[in-house]
């Protein structure tokens, strides 16, 4: 199947959606707006094709736009880029289906079918079932401020994608084609008439509701469908099914639990989000039980089921109605059960509703644990099989049991994340209140002695009259929420900026002192280059503590951060430090006889560890992916990966096959001499990066002029502030707005700065052949270079020059020119290593995608320059909306921006 033929439907979809958008603009905003947009679009395409006269005319035309015309023009190009994204996502689904049908090309790389065939051919069939059946993959959804689109628009765009799917049906009638066309027109018109801008910053509870919407609208149905496919392939290949209670992939959340630098996430918020998760879970299970009540009108039943429901005429319906009543009691409440059991009629209180409102209702007969709901469903499942109706058991009922295994009664467990100094402050307040000294000034050994002594003591540590300040009280209140909600609702306690064993022990002690019966596992997060380099020592010292080793059940989870390490030391340096840290942690865990679970704090952008899932997992060090993986899915990536059913299933598939393959066939370690080369590359990259970002006095001033960093802080796109601390340096700026700002100008500096100079030095030293071999034979190095090519394909230094010319003081122009020269050097050296003529030569689909967007992103960049210039000269109130829409549009065009 040729690439051109296979892409023809995509081009047709984009043509159709673009045409419908054009007619909508003409009808809703008038001929003048439509003609202006078309003129700008034509000039942009010609300019991108190399017509310098068109480029000058485009810049002049945009500069002459009156204020009132800027908003509709910006909206037009933003909307087109969003529609192009929809068409591309739908085309990915279409191509995946085509691969399945096309027997000549074979199965798609990374698909279940391809993976199982390849494992059989490589001689790994014997251990295949055990590996797949025991996989433990957790995707942790987070709400960082990169999801710029309102949910109202996301829902419309998802419906457009569904309509494109309807249009792909075989042999549609002319009436059906016309109905799809009209429906698309209605959705595009509704999107055009919908405000793109959030008028208020979302609360953490809002972010949690968005996460629940992804579960409800997509994953709730995709997961059981995917597990059926996995089960069929596993049985076909190994002769053994996937266990009914297997959950090879499941979900966690930081929404409502991530309080690191976010004062809006409080103990009250975390409690409310946990209850919201339970409320939504019970609602979804109620729907499924109602469907089963309608379906299971059978009268045949096993003795086990009869023993439970008695001589009921329709035993399954009787059993399931009892389950439904108890679910209703859980969500809406009930009085205490009447004598003899069962749920009484006339429920008057609302249990979860009341808890959400801050009241303490009577528990009644509510569901607390997943096993309580699973037990009656399993009785029905066994009964159907024993009664000769096993085929029915394998339908909706089995899907519901699968959902229970994956989602439990909370859909996704919420992690707590807090910065290490907040715990130090809390413990210091306690020791000073007790008159035993200042915990904050004790050295590490003295802290450890105190913590271990108190962890083993039965005596309460917190005085009854203890009156902490607001911040310390919040830390203790958070631990009290852990005691209240329990481990069914909560996942891990993640400590950011962890560096010492006392950071972990301190959280263990705080949980103990407020009465947590089942303490959350405590996960140190190593982020900066220094902390990554010290992670192995910290883990060794921690495991050597007898008390700690006895209380972790042989498993230690460690989180490694991609965001702050890259911002701290350069993308290349961070990538190599993360690789080495994983190797060291794996070696320590094996030597100490414990199981290590690595938690990857990845973002959406390349500079924060983003990129293709399959390649990223397969490039990890040998032994680091041992059937277990935990990873964050952040910001707009959640919608991109899980917003549409077909895309969501494909991403679940890629996670499963990559983790299984990395476990069964781990990559070889780097060859002799490669480590020394990487050490020098990382050292040189860090020197160049820090020399620019930290040591160049005018860099911060240039950054603030040349990017919309300040204006981005006004976007209502996340509950967290842009900075951890109120200082002006890059070190206090969160990694997300740091990268987001450079993405807007299409320089993408954090992803490549330092790498080009380091590679150039290595090439000049005569290591060209070695670097070529590293690229061909080492998955880690290949993945890094491929990601660099992705960055280089998306970036455009000429666009960055537009910003400098209008927005940057003349005295700083040399700095921008120097950065663009470094970008050119990076492009040259990366292509030297990969031996490609152009970036992404071996990824033509992505290459064409970037090329398709450029003529539509270019006008938005030019308009953003114009808007920033006008806003910075006193027109802020008149043009704020246009600037916000422009930021959104560029983000849509660049994709994986945060």
What residues act catalytically?
144, 567
**What does the longest C-alpha to C-alpha distance in the chain come to?**
90
Which residues are CB-neighbours of 171 under 8 A, at least 6 positions away? none
Collect all residues with Cβ–Cβ distance below 8 Å to 116 and sequence separation of at least 6: 128, 233, 234, 236, 237
Helix axes 67-101, 876-894, angle to 10 degrees: 20
Nearest by Cα to 271 from 350, 348, 359: 359
* Cβ–Cβ under 8 Å, residues 634 and 602: yes
Residues in contact with 38: Cβ distance below 8 Å, sequence separation at least 6, in sequence order: 22
Q: Compute the distance between CA of residue 820 and CA of residue 799 in angstroms, rounded to an integer.
A: 10
List helix spans (H) across 296-397. Answer: 303-309, 315-332, 351-356, 370-386, 390-392
Q: Torsion-angle region of residue 842: left (phi > 0), alpha (psi -120 to 50) or beta?
A: alpha
Cα 866 to Cα 398: distance, rounded to the nearest angstrom:
58
Q: Tokens representing 891?
A: 């983000």
Residue 823 CA to residue 738 CA, distance in Å, equals: 18
Judged on CB neighbours under 10 Å (0-12, 13-18, 19+), 795 is buried
Q: Which of 884, 896, 893 is nearest to 636 (CA)?
A: 896
Q: What are phi and psi of 185, to 5 degrees?
A: -60, -40
C-alpha span between 625 and 613 (Å, rounded): 13
Query: Could you give the CA distance from residue 85 to residue 419 in angstroms, rounded to a whole number?
Result: 37
Residues 472, 427: Cα–Cα separation, whole Å: 9
> Can you tell me whether residue 405 is helix, strand or coil?
helix
Where would I find the H helices in 456-520?
A: 470-485, 501-513
Q: Which two tokens stand for residue 207?
A: 């972010």
Q: How far is CA 565 from the centre of its chain?
A: 18
Q: Which long-range contacts (CB under 8 A, 24 or more apart) does 847-852 make?
A: 847/793, 848/7, 849/88, 850/793, 850/794, 852/14, 852/84
Question: Strand pairing of 249-253 and 628-634?
Answer: unpaired
Extract the tokens encoding 646. 């077909």
Q: What does the DSSP assignment read for 186-244?
A: HHHHHHHTS--S-SSPPPHHHHHHHHHHHIIIIIHHHHHHHHHHHHHHHHHHHS-PPPT
How is residue 344 written in tokens?
């009484």
| Cα→Cα distances 54→44, 371, 573, 796, Å | 7, 67, 41, 18
Give phi and psi for 333, each to the nearest 5. Answer: 90, 160
């Amino acid at each position: 199947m040729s690439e051109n033929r296979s892409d023809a439907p995509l081009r047709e979809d984009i043509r159709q959606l673009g045409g419908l958008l054009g007619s909508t603009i003409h009808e809703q905003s008038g001929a003048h707006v439509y003609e202006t947009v078309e003129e700008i679009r034509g000039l942009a395409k010609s300019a991108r094709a190399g017509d310098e006269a068109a480029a000058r005319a485009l810049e002049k035309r945009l500069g002459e736009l009156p204020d009132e015309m800027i908003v509709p023009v910006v909206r037009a190009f933003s909307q087109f880029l969003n529609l192009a994204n929809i068409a591309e996502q739908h085309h990915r689904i279409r191509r995946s289906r085509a691969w399945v049908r096309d027997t000549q090309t074979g199965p798609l790389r990374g698909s279940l079918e391809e993976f199982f065939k390849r494992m059989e051919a490589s001689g790994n069939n014997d251990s295949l079932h055990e590996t797949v059946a025991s996989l433990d993959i957790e995707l942790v959804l987070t709400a960082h401020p990169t999801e710029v689109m309102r949910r109202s628009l996301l829902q419309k765009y998802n419906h457009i994608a569904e309509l494109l799917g309807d249009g792909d049906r075989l042999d549609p009638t002319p009436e059906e084609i016309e109905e799809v066309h009209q429906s698309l027109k209605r959705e595009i018109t509704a999107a055009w008439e919908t405000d793109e801008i959030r008028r208020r910053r979302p609360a953490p509870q809002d972010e949690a509701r968005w996460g629940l919407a992804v579960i409800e609208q997509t994953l709730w149905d995709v997961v059981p469908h995917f597990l059926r496919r996995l089960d069929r392939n596993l049985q076909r290949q190994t002769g053994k099914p996937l266990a009914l209670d297997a959950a090879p992939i499941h979900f966690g959340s930081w929404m409502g639990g991530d309080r690191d630098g976010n004062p809006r996430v409080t103990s009250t918020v975390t409690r409310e989000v946990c209850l919201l998760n339970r409320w939504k879970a019970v609602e979804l299970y109620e729907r499924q039980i109602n469907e089963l009540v309608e379906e299971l009108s059978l009268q045949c039943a096993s003795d086990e089921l009869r023993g439970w429901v008695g001589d009921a005429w329709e035993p399954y319906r009787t059993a399931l109605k009892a389950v439904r009543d108890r679910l209703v009691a859980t969500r809406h409440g009930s009085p205490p059960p009447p004598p003899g059991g069962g749920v009484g009629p006339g429920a008057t209180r609302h249990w979860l509703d009341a808890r959400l409102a801050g009241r303490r209702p009577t528990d009644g007969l509510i569901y607390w644990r997943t096993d309580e709901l699973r037990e009656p469903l399993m009785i029905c499942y066994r009964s159907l099989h024993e009664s000769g109706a096993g085929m029915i058991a394998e339908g909706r009922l089995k899907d519901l049991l699968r959902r229970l295994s994956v989602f439990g009664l909370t859909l996704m467990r919420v992690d707590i994340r807090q910065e290490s100094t907040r715990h130090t402050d809390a413990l210091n307040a306690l020791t000073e209140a007790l008159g035993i000294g200042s915990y904050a000034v004790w050295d590490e050994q003295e802290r450890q002695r105190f913590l271990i002594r108190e962890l083993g003591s039965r005596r309460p540590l917190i005085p009854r009259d203890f009156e902490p300040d607001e911040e310390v009280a919040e830390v203790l209140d958070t631990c009290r929420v852990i005691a209240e909600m329990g481990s069914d609702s909560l996942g891990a306690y993640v400590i950011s900026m962890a560096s010492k064993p006392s950071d972990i022990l301190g959280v263990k002690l705080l949980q103990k002192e407020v009465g947590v019966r089942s303490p959350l596992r405590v996960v140190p997060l190593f982020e900066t280059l220094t902390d990554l380099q010290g992670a192995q020592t910290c883990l060794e010292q921690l495991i050597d503590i007898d008390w700690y080793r006895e209380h972790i059940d042989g498993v230690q989870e460690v989180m490694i951060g991609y965001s702050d390490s890259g911002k701290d030391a350069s993308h290349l340096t961070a990538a190599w430090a993360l690789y080495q840290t994983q190797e060291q942690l794996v070696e320590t865990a094996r030597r100490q006889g414990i199981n290590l679970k690595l938690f990857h704090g990845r973002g959406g952008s390349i500079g924060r560890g983003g990129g293709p899932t399959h390649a990223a997992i397969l490039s990890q060090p040998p032994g680091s992916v041992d059937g277990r993986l935990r990873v964050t899915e952040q910001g707009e990536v959640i919608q991109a990966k899980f917003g549409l059913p077909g895309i969501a299933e494909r991403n679940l598939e890629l996670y499963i096959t990559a983790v299984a393959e990395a476990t069964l066939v781990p990559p070889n370690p780097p060859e002799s001499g490669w480590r020394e080369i990487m050490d020098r590359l990382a050292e040189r990259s860090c020197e160049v990066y820090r020399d620019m970002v930290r040591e160049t006095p005018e860099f911060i001033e240039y950054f603030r002029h040349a990017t919309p960093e300040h204006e981005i802080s006004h976007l209502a796109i996340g509950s967290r502030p842009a900075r951890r601390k109120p200082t002006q340096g890059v070190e206090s700026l969160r990694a997300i707005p740091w990268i987001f700002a450079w993405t807007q100008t299409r320089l993408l500096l954090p992803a490549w700065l330092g790498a080009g100079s380091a590679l150039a030095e290595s090439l000049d030293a005569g290591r060209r052949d070695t670097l070529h071999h590293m690229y061909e034979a080492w998955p880690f190095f290949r993945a890094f270079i491929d990601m660099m090519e992705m960055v280089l394909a998306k970036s455009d230094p000429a666009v960055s020059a537009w910003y400098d010319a209008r927005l940057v003081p003349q005295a700083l122009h040399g700095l921008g020119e120097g950065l663009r020269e470094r970008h050119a050097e990076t492009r040259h050296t990366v292509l030297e290593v990969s031996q490609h003529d152009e970036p992404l030569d071996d990824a033509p689909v992505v290459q064409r995608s970037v090329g398709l967007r450029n003529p539509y992103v270019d006008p938005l960049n030019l308009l953003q320059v114009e808007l920033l210039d006008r806003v910075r000269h006193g027109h802020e109130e008149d043009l704020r909306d246009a600037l916000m829409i422009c930021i959104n549009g560029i983000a849509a065009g660049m994709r994986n921006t945060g």
